[in-house]
Structures are given as C-alpha cells and as structure tokens.
Amino acid sequence: MAIKFSQKRYDNMEYRRCGRSGLLLPAISLGLWHNFGDVDDVKVYRKTLHTAFDNGITHFDLANNYGPPPGSAEVNFGKILHSDFKHHRDELIISTKAGYTMWPGPYGDWGSKKYLVSSLDQSLKRMKLDYVDIFYHHRPDPQIPLEETIGALDLIVRQGKALYVGLSNYRVPEAKKAINLLRKMGTPCLIHQPKYSMFERWVEDGLLSLLEKEGVGCIPFSPLAQGLLTNKYLKGIPKNSRAAKAHGFLKKEDITKERLLQIQKLNELAQNRGQTLAQMALAWLLKDKRVTSVLVGASSATQLKDSLGCLNNTHFEKSELEQIEQILKES
C-alpha cells in the first residue's frame, strides 16, 4: 500500500539556491548521523522521515559510517526509501560521504581514490541506489596530494554515481585549493559542510566569504552544538543526555558553569522572541543568506517539528544580535 504524503508539503518550506548551481535545498535538511542505526527504533525514525517529507524537507544527509553500527543508517534509510518513498525518489536529494574510518586496513579511511570509489560503491549497495545526489569528501587527508582526492570526486561524477560533489570539514586554505581543482576538472564544487553554531564560529574567519566568492553552498552541521543549544541543559546535565555518556563528542567537562549560564541567558532571549532556544539557534544561522540549508538531527518527529518552527521567524533586530554577541563573549 502506497504511503500518502501531504499534498501541501512544499507550501511552507523555504528553498534556497545552492551557490550558483541549479539546485535548491530546503532551509532545513535532515541529518542521519544519529537516531537511524540498528540500535534505534525503526517505528520512531520511520515517522521522523515521514514528518520531514510532509513538511517539505527533501534533503536527507548520510555518511558511510553513520549508525551505529557503521553503515546501518544507510541500510535502514534505504529500506524505508524503497518501501515508503519509492514513488518520490526524484523529489529527494540524498547525500553521503567518505573520509573517516569505515573498514580495517589501509584502504578504509581518509582520502585515497581507492577508498572514496570503494566506499561510494558500498553506500550505493546499502541504499540500493544507482546514484546519490551529493557525494562529499568527509575530511581532508594531510598525507596524500589533494589532486588525488579531488580527482576521485571528479571521476565519481563522470561515472554517474553522484550528480554533485562537496567538501566537509575543510578549512580555508585546502577548501580554496579543492574548489579551484574541481573547477579546472569541470566538476564544480557544489557545497561545503562545516561545523557551525553559536558556539562554533570558525567558519566566520574566511570560509563563508570564500564560499560566497566561489559560488559554493554552505550547509552547517551540529547547529545545536550537540544539544547544548536546546532546553536539555538549562538545569545541568540530564542522565540520558550525550554529555552524560562516556563516549561521544560532547563531554561533561565541556559544560562549565559559565557555559550553562550562557545557555540560560540565550534561552531567555529566545523566549522573548517567542521561540525555543533550538529554534533561535537555527534561525540565527539562517539569517545569513550565505547559508543554504541547516542540517538538523532529530530523535523523534516531535523534535523535528520543533526545529521546523524556526522558519516562522529568522529575522533578528540589531539589538538582539548585539545581545547574543555579548552573551557569547561572557566566560
């Protein structure tokens, strides 16, 4: 039985042009870094995917190692794609990446042509796709010539395995070189995916300006700073939060008294704007038109709907922006 999605799914979503390409992306995209692995509840993440599409989210972002275990997010997404979205593939932008450890040995990590081509072949098999819309190199490889990595991205497009290619976690010097190499090869860089939030501002030191100049889109990940920019930490560290776990990217020591005070003050400002802290944090990124889309994670459909609420108000008064900067300078 075919799934019936909302006929009004495109009515309330903003779509932004990705650099100078022909591609439009939704202002909010769904990342599958967490919550879509074998350890997660299929009923929950299936509903999240349905809710995303029903609300105009057409872009789903994956990587070879997403899970856990690595690869399981692609497998699980592929199953739902073919069962529930089989009549809507041409309405979707599906991306994946390679660049971090995926399998043992010298050919399962970093940026060699061997790794990138093999990894994408595996990703396509896991998702049962002929091609992805965007394929990223997940991080620069300092050990090999950039020409080899970029040559592999160019090859992948020419093979028809990806329509576009992008970069992730590249700093300004290597990003500039990679973008120029791709242009010379005839496969322009579509998009860059950096870590960017109110608490992570390095992209403002030249990267955003470079992307604007070169006509490359920008799609920040971790816009909520691994959950810090939500209401989870207003009263400390919850037992089931990422910071409370022994593994993961967010550590207990990251959450100082000063950081908690910043979060509380930002939350007060968000409330004055009629938003949750998460909504304000997402809107703060989207206020910059150089940002094509923002990647959000979601552990449930309800959480995703809350994030989508940011689209109701992405305008900031000058005084609000000054308040935010003042709060962020406090330590």
pLDDT tens by residue, 182-203: 999 999 999 999 999 999 999 9
DSSP string, 65-128: T-TTTTTHHHHHHHHHHHHHSTT-GGG-EEEEEE-S--SSSTTSSTT-HHHHHHHHHHHHHHHT
pLDDT tens by residue, 135-154: 999 999 999 999 999 999 99
272-281: average pLDDT: 97
Q: Is the peptide bond before 104 cis (omega within 30 degrees of 0)?
A: no
For residue 234, what pLDDT is reported?
Answer: 83
If one compares 181 and 331, the residue with the highest pLDDT of the two is 181
How far is Cα 254 from Cα 183, in angstroms, rounded to an integer? 40
pLDDT tens by residue, 301-320: 999 999 999 999 999 999 99
DSSP string, 128-171: T-S-EEEEEE-S--TTS-HHHHHHHHHHHHHTTSEEEEEEES--
Tell me if the domain spanning 15-226+288-312 has CATH number 3.20.20.100. yes
How do the domains of the chain map onto residue ranges?
Answer: 15-226+288-312
- Sorting pLDDT into bands at 50, 70 and 90, what band is 4? very high
156-177 per-residue burial string, b: 16 or more CB within 10 A, e: under 16 = bbeeebbbbbbbbbbebebbbe
* Cα–Cα nearest to 232, from 142, 153, 306: 306
235-252: average pLDDT: 59
For residue 249, what pLDDT is reported?
Answer: 59
Is the confidence at residue 245, as pLDDT, over 60?
Answer: no
Positive/negative CA dihedral, 103, 72, 299, 196: positive
Q: Is residue 142 within 8 Å of 94, Cβ to Cβ?
A: no
How high is the mean pLDDT of the chain? 95
- Sorting pLDDT into bands at 50, 70 and 90, what band is 232? confident
268-284: average pLDDT: 97
- Sorting pLDDT into bands at 50, 70 and 90, what band is 46? very high
289-308: average pLDDT: 97
In this structure, the strands spanning 24-26 and 15-17 are: antiparallel
Q: Is the peptide bond before 69 cis (omega within 30 degrees of 0)?
A: yes
For residue 243, what pLDDT is reported?
Answer: 54
Amino acid at 17: R
**Percent of the chain whose pLDDT exceeds 90:** 90
**Percent of the chain whose pLDDT exceeds 70:** 94
Residue 22: which H helix or E strand, with range? none
For residue 248, what pLDDT is reported?
Answer: 56
